[in-house]
Structure formats: structure tokens, C-alpha cells
Amino acid sequence: MTSVAQPPSSEGEVTVLHVRVSDPRVRPLLRELGHEYSVRYGKDAHAEISRYPDEEFTEPYGGLLLLLLERGEAVAGGAFRRYDAVTAELKRIWTHSAHRRRGLARRVIAELEGEAGIRGYRRIFLTTGPRQPEARGLYLATGYTPLFDTEADPETVGPLPFEKHLPTAARTAGTGKVDL
């Protein structure tokens, strides 16, 4: 996959919104993720997107879905769901193909970590596929600890698990997002 580096957007141009999976602005995220998974893993990979009920990504169930909007367009997003009482699981981290290489995925992760901390989670867990070296690199670069042998062929490991323990400050700071 080839992407063209875009200049970084200023903080004022990107809006963070908390939304439900049913929000029409989420469709590009799900559509592009489904396509990406299918290209890398085959047709059945699209089922990964619907693996968990939508309500698991809502506050009453301990989850959250957020989008980064630029001029009203969804350019990146991601979610977490309750994994256990102290752990949030990151899911569906995505940056629109036309907006990659701008640090948006890092921002999504930071926003999700902050929100997870506010909700009382002390740990983040996630898995990424063995055919997603960009995601693997992103998680390593953002301080996640691999729970697998990084020297092994990723195809022999299967889903690549990572974890990160949240600092106490992340569990008390407000982030000023807009809930919709």
C-alpha cells in the first residue's frame, strides 16, 4: 500500500467526537477497514469488524468509539471495549488512506488511552494481525509491550498481542472531547 505524506494539520482543524457505531460518519472507517482486512487476510476477514456487538463500544458497556474529523470528514478513528475490570481492549484503529503518515493514528491512540484512564482502566490490551507491520510498528513506537517473541515470524504467532499500563495521571486528566 502506498500513501502520500500529508502536512500535519493544526490542532484547531481536527475535532474529536465520541460516537456510536451506527453514526453515519463511522461508515468510512468500517468500509475501509473491511477492505484492508480482506486484501490482507482474505474475504472472511471482513467478519472481524462485526465480531463484537456494537453496544460493547458504548459507555454503559465500558467502551468508546471516537472519530477524528477534519473539516467535517472522518479522517481517523478507533475504539475500545471492556476486556476486564481493569483492562480496555483497543479495536478498529484506523486512518483514512488519504490521510496517513500525519500522526493521526498516534493521536487516536493517545485519545483512547486518556479516555480509558478517565473511565478507571489501568491497562490497555490489543492484538493486531501478523500481516499488519505498520500497526505493529505503531504500537511499539507508542510504548506498547509485545506479549510475543518479536524475533519470530509473525505468521507463526497469529494475532500479535500487546499491552500498556496506564500512568496514574492518565486516569485523572480530562481531555475535553465532544460527546455526540
Dump pLDDT digits (tens) for 100-118. 999 999 999 999 999 999 9
CA dihedral 161, 162, 168, 174 (to 10 degrees): -90
Which of 102, 97, 105 is CA-nearest to residue 31?
A: 97
- The pTM (predicted TM-score) of the whole model is 0.84
Mean pLDDT across the stretch 33-51? 80
Cell (9 digits) for 13: 482543524
Dump pLDDT digits (tens) for 124-142. 999 999 999 999 999 999 9
Question: Is pLDDT at 171 greater than 60 in this prediction?
Answer: no
Question: Is pLDDT at 10 greater than 80 in this prediction?
Answer: no
pLDDT of 4 reads 30
Q: For residue 46, name the pLDDT band (cuts at 50, 70, 90).
A: low
Question: Is pLDDT at 11 greater than 60 in this prediction?
Answer: no
pLDDT of 155 reads 92
- The answer to whether 46 and 38 are in contact (CB under 8 A) is yes
Share of the chain above pLDDT 70, in %: 85
Dump pLDDT digits (tens) for 49-98. 778 889 999 999 999 999 999 998 999 999 999 999 999 999 999 999 88
Q: For residue 30, name the pLDDT band (cuts at 50, 70, 90).
A: confident
pLDDT of 91 reads 95
pLDDT of 45 reads 66
pLDDT of 37 reads 87
